[in-house]
Amino acid sequence: MRTLLKAAFAFGRFNTRFHNLFQMQCDRQLSTNQVTKCPYEREKIRKEFDENGYTILRKVITGKVLEEVQRHVDWLLERYPDVPPEHLHHPILRRDPFWMRLVSDSRLLDIASMFIGPHIALFASHYFCKLPGTGKRVLWHQDGSYWPLEPMHVVSLWLSVDKATVQNGCLRVVRGSHKSALKELQSCTKDNNVLGSHTHSDVNDDDVVNITLDPGDVEIHHPNIIHGSEANTSKTRRCGLTIRYIPTTTRCTNPSHPVYILQGNDSKVNQYRSWPLFMSGYHMPFEGCEKWNSSRYVNRDDEEYLQCLTEKTLEEDVRREVKEVIDGLQSQRMRTQQQ
Ligand SMILES: O=C(O)CCC(=O)C(=O)O
């Protein structure tokens, strides 16, 4: 009996020491990309998210890829001068290989997997680019109120392309508000705002958190959290890329909305589209673009369209579909389709 007790005691001490050692090891790791691989840190991040409805990870996208993202935004603004910079939406993504390369970056997928598991698809992505002095407000809203998803199991990553400050209209979240149910959208055209609608006209100021970020940092939020942003009254641009990841078990109930499988098993609840083709001389070149076409995901039913695209049809289709998205936001069409 004494030997048994001694052994149990020794194991307990070993276990505590091992745990502390493991924890110290995790605490010492400064890089976010290592943090997301550490079970202890993942649990901590997850807990913070469950409590507040959002969390922040720093320096996720760095170096060459960060430079490419910044170049990509400049390229898009030049390529689509008549698309409002706050509305660089997912119809462009469907025809833009660098965009798909970015949203399928393993650093971002590692983060998404903490919240939705390892089988991941992309539901939507959108650069909210607010130009200096003219960038518009985003009224208080809950993302889930816009989305045709069933169940509403989804996580948003907001990748900071530029430095996001209070002056240039950083994202603002209402801490803890993800615990409230989704509210109906209300049409609202006040201040010529980006979405033309809101779910909340007022929030408790004490709970509002300004999400100030450096380029490459990522904020992660829940589909029910109330959030928005002010106009950009500063002299610097504020661009952030939203990425909406769903587990492959979440169904997009609007069949014309393109969904892309990024990682893991297909649960057959969505029809996944081909990843975009790289058209040399048209698209922005990026590291690995030469091998892109042969390594991308292909859905045979979608290929005919992609293979026949010319620069002219591509641009016409993008403009038409982006306009549809903007009109849809304003007329609450996306919401109606869900019902
Ligand atoms: O970037 C912004 O200002 C708003 C972003 C947003 O509404 C979102 O991430 O859902």
The Cα-based distances of 329 to 124, 155, 195 in angstroms read: 14, 20, 6
Q: Which atom of ligand 1 is nearest to the CA of 229?
A: 3
Instruction: State the DSSP code for 180.
Output: S
Segment holding 150, helix H or strand E: strand 149-150
Cα gap 158→238, rounded to integer Å: 12
- Locate the domains of the chain by residue range: 49-338
Cα-to-centroid distance, 140 and ligand 1 (Å) = 10
Please report how many Cα atoms fall inside a 13 Å half-sphere around the Cα of residue 331, on the Cβ side: 9
Q: Which residues, including other chains, have CB under 8 Å from residue 322's CB and lie 6 or more apart?
A: 80, 83, 87, 88, 89, 91, 92
Q: What is the dihedral of CA 224, 104, 277, 84, to 10 degrees?
A: 40
Q: Is 143 in the pocket of ligand 1 (CB under 6 A)?
A: yes
Give residue 94's pLDDT. Answer: 80
Cα-to-centroid distance, 249 and ligand 1 (Å) = 25
Give residue 330's pLDDT. Answer: 65
What's the token pair of residue 16?
């505590």
User: Can you tell me which residue has the tokens 């049809």?
Assistant: 313
Q: What is the dihedral of CA 318, 327, 156, 31, to 10 degrees?
A: 50
Cα gap 248→269, rounded to integer Å: 7
Q: Is 146 in the pocket of ligand 1 (CB under 6 A)?
A: no
Per DSSP, the three-state class of 120 is strand
Strands of the 226-229 sheet, one edge to the other: 138-142, 226-229, 171-174, 208-211
Pocket test for ligand 1, best of 212, 227, 230 (most atoms within 8 A of CB): 227
What pLDDT tens digit does each residue of the chain (339 aa) get?
555 556 555 544 444 444 444 443 433 444 677 778 888 889 999 999 999 999 999 999 999 999 999 999 999 999 988 889 998 987 888 889 999 999 999 999 999 999 999 999 999 999 999 999 999 999 999 999 999 999 999 999 999 999 999 999 999 999 999 999 999 999 998 888 999 999 999 999 999 999 999 999 999 999 999 999 999 999 999 999 999 999 999 999 999 899 999 999 999 999 999 999 999 999 999 999 999 999 999 999 989 888 888 888 988 888 888 788 778 776 653 443 343
Cα gap 201→304, rounded to integer Å: 45
**Is 118:264 a contact under the CB 8 Å cutoff?**
yes
The DSSP code sequence of 245-294 is: EEETTSEES-TTS-BEEEES---SSS-BPPPPPP-TTTSPP-TTHHHHHH
Cα-to-centroid distance, 242 and ligand 1 (Å) = 7
Give residue 18's pLDDT. Answer: 43
User: Can you tell me which residue has the tokens 């320096």?
Assistant: 59
Q: What is the dihedral of CA 188, 190, 194, 196, to 10 degrees?
A: 20
Cα gap 278→296, rounded to integer Å: 10
Which residue lies with its CA nearest to atom 8 of ligand 1?
242
Name the CATH topology of 49-338. Jelly Rolls (2.60.120)
**Is 160:243 a contact under the CB 8 Å cutoff?**
no
> Would you mind telling me the total number of residues written for the chain in this entry?
339
Cα-to-centroid distance, 101 and ligand 1 (Å) = 21
Give residue 82's pLDDT. Answer: 84
Give residue 311's pLDDT. Answer: 87
Query: Alpha-carbon Rg of the chain, whole angstroms?
Result: 22
Give this prediction's pTM. 0.87
Cα-to-centroid distance, 296 and ligand 1 (Å) = 28
> Cα 62 from chain centroid?
17
Give residue 1's pLDDT. Answer: 52
Cα-to-centroid distance, 167 and ligand 1 (Å) = 16
Q: Which atom of ligand 1 is nearest to the CA of 195?
A: 7
Segment holding 109, helix H or strand E: helix 106-116
